[in-house]
Amino acid sequence: MRHDHATHPDTLAVHAGREDFAELGVHAPPLDLSTTYPVRDLEQGTASFDALVGGAASAANPIYARLFNPTVARFEAAMARLEGTSDAVAFGSGMAAMSACLLAAGQRGKHVLAMRPLYGTSHHLLDSGLLGIPVRWVTAEILAGAIDADTAMVVIETPANPTLDLIDIAAVVRAAGSVPVLVDSTFATPVLQQPAELGARLVLHSATKFLGGHGDVIAGVVACDAEWAQVLRQVRAATGGLLHPLGAYLLHRGLPTLGLRVRQAQENARRIAERLAAHPAVARVSYPGLGTVANAHLVGTQMRGPGSLLAFELHGGHTAAAAVMGAVRLATPAVSLGSVDTLIQHPAGLTHRVVDAQTQQHCGITPGLMRLSVGIEHVDDLWADLARALVAARQAEAA
């Protein structure tokens, strides 16, 4: 199946990574669960081993599943097409993908620069120095002046987790100069944002979220150029971070509905955000579609839409937040996001718990802040559930 003339993301989501189906005589993605592959030609096997360990995208013999898997490779090909990059490398989780990027960066420089806020575990990994490469936290205003000969990478997340603030990717790329920029684009997906078109060298997704979309697979993927892909594959081969083929199969199977899911959830989020903003229990709503986040003007230019994530601050603080978590019945009180069902969680107590209190406060992660990942349910049912929970929040506040 060829799609040389297909350019719209919706079409690519359906057909990308399926180019060899006609030759194979199949219509659904094949699932290869092999852990090892026969080596009847030793010379060919030796050459294949050397190529894969060296970061090659493929070889005549896959040798061993830690080095290559065809089901994973098809998903990677699809993600590269969707992000407009020459390559993509998949991992067993979003944090495995982030770790591989940082390990690769450590071979190219002595420190990374990063902007807050980031996903809590990404922040913790950088701040802890566990991977041996230190971080310097910067803002967009001081980024250019912070770049030096030892800077290995610039790390940003936009929309930011959990505040939904936006960062101007093109401006960051200009300020970074020759230093590669990594953009965690999990919240946006390639449906709403393509950082590589703006100059980012690495586009990271926690594929667990929207790309999976059904709460049944943990994965990460980095869309990038061939140079970075080779290094990331070397790291993946050495550290064992390969995505399991069943996860790749589920991800590839789910890509055709990605645009439908993202746009329906986004439309629901627009309406939920407006209703939350008018509710007396809510002090503020952070949502790009309301213009209530930093750089909201990037919606319509950098981003094709505001997305389906929002955050809202409750007047009653932690007490009210706990009441909401206990009162929702349709929405699921749980971490993660991007699923077909609505998820609500408390960043200060859960996803960003590993971030120190002072930094939480600096980033606007307060005791009353809730993060809502709006799903594709009917919006009136969602609102009825949230409205009941907000009544419980006001009662808890009064008590």
Pairing mode, if any, of strands 151-157 and 111-115? parallel
Tell me the two tokens of residue 373. Answer: 């990942």
Strands (E), the chain: 87-91, 111-115, 135-138, 151-157, 181-184, 202-206, 220-224, 282-286, 309-314, 332-333, 343-345, 369-373
pLDDT, one tens digit for every residue, the chain (399 residues) = 444 556 788 999 999 999 999 999 999 999 999 999 999 999 999 999 999 999 999 999 999 999 999 999 999 999 999 999 999 999 999 999 999 999 999 999 999 999 999 999 999 999 999 999 999 999 999 999 999 999 999 999 999 999 999 999 999 999 999 999 999 999 999 999 999 999 999 999 999 999 999 999 999 999 999 999 999 999 999 999 999 999 999 999 999 999 999 999 999 999 999 999 999 999 999 999 999 999 999 999 999 999 999 999 999 999 999 999 999 999 999 999 999 999 999 999 999 998 888 888 888 899 999 999 999 999 999 999 999 999 998 898 887
Instruction: Give the per-residue pLDDT at 2.
Output: 45
Instruction: Give the per-residue pLDDT at 3.
Output: 47
pTM over 0.85: yes
Q: Which helix (DSSP H) or strand (DSSP E) does residue 24 occupy?
A: helix 21-24
| Matching residue, tokens 């998949």 | 90
Pairing mode, if any, of strands 220-224 and 202-206? antiparallel
CA distance 215 to 266: 18
- Looking at residue 125, its amino acid is L
CA distance 246 to 267: 31
Distances (CA, A) of 103 to 93, 156, 226, 239, 251: 15, 17, 17, 10, 25
Distances (CA, A) of 10 to 20, 121, 191, 321: 20, 31, 8, 37
How many other β-carbons are positioned within 10 Å of the β-carbon of residue 366?
17
Q: Nearest to residue 119, comparing CAs of 168, 156, 93, 90?
A: 156
User: Domains in the chain, start-ordered, CATH in brackets?
Assistant: 259-398 (3.90.1150.10)
CA distance 346 to 335: 8
Instruction: Give the per-residue pLDDT at 5.
Output: 58
Residues catalogued as catalytic = 66, 119, 184, 209
